[in-house]
Amino acid sequence: MELELFRTYYSNGTNREIICNGARICFAIELPWLNNKPQVSCVPEGRHELVKRYSPKFNNHLQLVNVPGRDYILIHPANDAVKELRGCIAPVSLLTAEGRGLRSRLALGQLITLTYAAFDKQEQVFLTIKSVHNEPNN
C-alpha cells in the first residue's frame, strides 16, 4: 500500500494531508523543519516504510522505519505539535493553525483501520512525504 503525505512548511509547525489512491484519509501535523534534528524536527521528505506498533501510552499506532538519522518516529495522536510531539507525526481530522488540529484520535483510527487491513494481507505499507509549498532549506 502506498500513502502520500503532502506538506506545507510554516515557522510554527508543518501541516499536511495524507492521501491513499487519490482520496484524503486525514490531515496531519508535525513540528517545523529543523534540519532533521531528532526530537525537534519534522520528518525528512522521501519514501518511508510504516510498521505496526503498540504501546500502553498510544495503544495501536504506526512507526516509520529506516529514516536516515532518526529512530522511533511514530504516528500517534496529538493536537498540538509543539506541545505534544517530539519529531513524530500526528493525524488530525481538522487543521486549525500551524502545527495544530482537532480530533486526532478519530483521524488515527481511520489511518489504523486502513493500514492494519493491508498488514493483515501481508502487504508492506509506505508513506511518501512531499512538499507542496515553502520547501525547507536542506
Could you report the per-residue pLDDT of 48-76, keeping only the tens digit for each? 999 999 999 999 999 999 999 999 999 99
Whether residue 16 has pLDDT greater than 50: yes
What whole-number distance in Å separates Cα of residue 121 and Cα of residue 15? 31
Sequence spans of domains, the chain: 2-133
- Domain 2-133, architecture per CATH: Beta Barrel (2.40)
- Percent of the chain clearing pLDDT 90 (strictly above): 94
| Start-to-end C-alpha separation, the chain | 28
The predicted pLDDT at position 134 comes to 56
The predicted pLDDT at position 129 comes to 95
One-letter amino acid of 41: S
The model's pTM is 0.93
Whether residue 133 has pLDDT greater than 90: no
Asked whether the CA dihedral 129, 131, 136, 138 is positive or negative, the reply is: positive
Reported as a single tens digit per residue, the pLDDT across 79-118 is 999 999 999 999 999 999 999 999 999 999 999 999 999 9
